[in-house]
Amino acid sequence: MSTNQTNLGFDALIGDDAELTQSFISKRIDALSARVLSLATLGTGIEMFLVYLAQAKTLNLTASTIFIALVLTAELALVLLALFSQFGKVAAGIFAVVVFFTLCTWPIQTFDTQQLDNPPTPWVYEALGVAGIAATLSLPVGWAMAYLIATPVIWIVIRESTSASQFQQWDSLLGAIYVLLFSSSVSAIVVMLRTSAKRADLAGQQAAQVAAQSARTDAIERERSRVDALVHDQVLTTLIVASQAKTETDSKSVTTMSQNAIDKLMTFSSTQLGEDSPITVKSLFESLKTIAENAPTPVLVDMGDTTDVEVPAEVAAAFSEATIQALANSVQHAGRGVTREVILRVDGQDVKVVVQDNGKGFRASRVSKDRLGIKLSIRDRMDSVGGKAKVDTLPNKGCKIVLIWSQA
């Protein structure tokens, strides 16, 4: 396995806090966008409430109180869920719907403002811009575009239906243009970030698959070399004995050895190793050792005695992928000046790989659900081949990941 191929997998996994999961960066972008949006709604919410109080005498207090309460509650829910949970995207969608509904029902929240010389700008206007961004963040692309277009149009209709002033028409148009430009420009940035994130996700997954496949190919090549060496040694030994044979007993021994060597050659030539062929533990461990040695930072490798016991190809692949992910997690999260070690052991019927460091560690129960590196690429990957993955870690106590597969 080439160093470039292995480093490709590590670089993709640790770059931008990426992990081998579907749309990991995309989820992080959405979560971050929801948090920024929630903070923006705090400012607009305060301003909106102050405008509401100033307009109180021109409003139908019963209806307007209900809607201002709905909008403020949706904003508060967005702030809390975006900052302290994984449901910020859902809260953003609810907020967008509430604001849109509030805008559409503006006529029932007011008295007859057409009789006023200078009717007030509806207080809900303060939330229209951030609501458009919330729609982009939470709704499918088609619905989000419809929202961005419909909101300014409805704004103009609402303003013109509640005002008879010629000046108000120009004001309504300017307000609609501002809402459209503000929400669409920020939404465009969110969409571009999402697109880039999806590309990075795909590149990370493909690179990790390349690294894992390279590790599997490396193990197969090592196995082929091992078998070649065994056959070569047997043939060479037979030739040496034959050259030294002097008695009839020696000749019979050479005949038997020659037949065995021929059988070995025939067997090896008829059963070449393929992608699905079993791999010996020795070849697997040599491949994992290469993976560790090609990590971006120094990794100590402790490889104990190995055996010629074979493991299925899918088990070898699972060990390779889980080891790559465990090392990538350590490089990304453990901190600087950390000692990392990979321990390779055969313990009775168990094949064991340990990846450990003395870094920051963490509480497994507090890991965000969208951080699927340990769950998907380590635990689930080992489970898929009948193995196990154990994680032993605490804050400031380092992290130890044990991968086990039993031959029994």
* Residue 114 maps to a domain: yes
What is the per-residue DSSP string for 27-55? HHHHHHHHHHHHHHHHHHHHHHHHHHHHT
Residue with tokens 């809390």: 80
Tokens of residue 193, six digits: 């970030």
Residue 161 pLDDT grade (very low, low, confident, very high; cuts 50, 70, 90):
confident
| Residue 322's CATH number | 3.30.565.10
pLDDT higher at 286 or 276: 286
**240 inside domain:** no
With beta carbons less than 8 A apart as the criterion, state whether 17 and 201 touch. Answer: no
Do 198 and 282 belong together in one domain?
Answer: no
Structural domain contains residue 150: yes
Written as one letter, the residue type at 308 is D
Residues 324-380 have pLDDT tens digits of 888 888 887 888 889 999 999 988 788 999 999 998 888 766 665 545 567 667 888
Residues 28 and 137 in one domain: yes
d(CA 25, CA 354): 28
- Co-location of 198 and 306 in the same domain: no
* 188-228: pLDDT as tens digits: 998 888 888 777 767 666 666 666 666 666 666 666 665 56
Overall number of domains in the chain:
2
The single-letter DSSP state of residue 239 is H
- Among candidate residues 204, 234, 264, the one where a domain is terminated: 204
At residue 214, the pLDDT reads 66
In this predicted model, which residue has the larger pLDDT, 2 or 219? 219
Q: Per mean pLDDT, which range of 39-48, 107-116, 124-133, 276-285 is the poorest? A: 107-116
Helix, strand, coil percent values for the chain (each to nearest 5): 70, 10, 20
Q: Looking at this protein, which amino acid is placed at residue 32?
A: L
Q: Are residues 173 and 311 in the same domain?
A: no
Whether residue 124 sits in one domain with residue 16: yes
Q: Is residue 142 part of a domain?
A: yes
Domain span at 347 = 278-408
pLDDT for residue 234 is more than 70: no
Say if 300 falls within a structural domain: yes
35 and 148 share a domain? yes
Residues 69 and 191 in one domain: yes
Note whether 135 and 38 are same-domain residues: yes
Residue 182 lies in a domain: yes
Q: What angle do CA 394, 399, 404 make, to 5 degrees?
A: 120
Q: Which of 266, 326, 236, 228 is nearest to 14 (CA)?
A: 326
CA dist., res. 312 & res. 229, Å (int): 22
Which of 171-192 are b and which e, b meaning 16 or more Cβ less than 10 Å from the residue's Cβ?
ebeebbeebbeebbebbeebee
Q: What is the pLDDT of residue 198?
A: 75
Same domain, 151 and 283: no
**Residue 196 sits in the same domain as residue 288:** no
| Closest residue by Cα to residue 383 from 403, 365, 364 | 403
Same domain as 58, residue 170: yes
| Last residue in a domain, options 204, 225, 259 | 204
Q: Identify the domain boundary among 185, 204, 223.
A: 204
Return d(Cα 387, Cα 113) in angstroms, integer: 72
Whose CA is closest to 227, among 312, 219, 254?
A: 219
